[in-house]
Structure 1
């Protein structure tokens, strides 16, 4: 029998400027937490998203976007969203060493996600 557990979670807002809506993907279940702002990559063998890894294989070393959902640890696959065509504040991004991994930043740019130093503008209440 299934059971629904409701939790109140105050999501951390990713500092970003969107030019197009996020895309939904299947994120592979794992023992490690997928963090808000985590750089994600798609595994070529199953088409699911995993946390980006500079030393990864099967496509896990090619970032495709930044996870915009609530930080989550799940051993089963779940639906999540990543950025498409957005500017993201460098301080909010998890999983890339900006001092050494220039290739990852270039790959994110190819996918439309630009990691920048600071996003200027006024705060909008949703």
Structure 2
């Protein structure tokens, strides 16, 4: 855990939270500034970026997120996880937002400007990824 991390402090109980579910490796609680009636699901292991979270924590985290999403009961919702400032990560501890979308005005609004890559660009991107796996 990181000493100055607000989410690590929440996990330790140093900052109060409205916990909805906790396992040995995962902590789920209410978001105090939600876009909709939402929840946060976080690994107890401190990691700033998704790719830094230990696999055992990820294996526990997604089933917890699924349980919380089902308990929220929203037909439509977003599961959002941001990495880095340009991607709008506000807290440097990996966290998944479960954001119900009850109607057009509540919840997450997304503009999705699509690129139009050529088949050659797609092939080059695929090859670059496959080489690194």
TM range (shorter): under 0.3
Bigger CA radius of gyration: 2
Structure number with higher strand proportion = 1
How does the TM-score come out when normalised to structure 1? 0.26
Higher relative contact order (CA 8 A, sep 6+): 1
TM, length-normalised to structure 2: 0.25
Higher helix share: 2
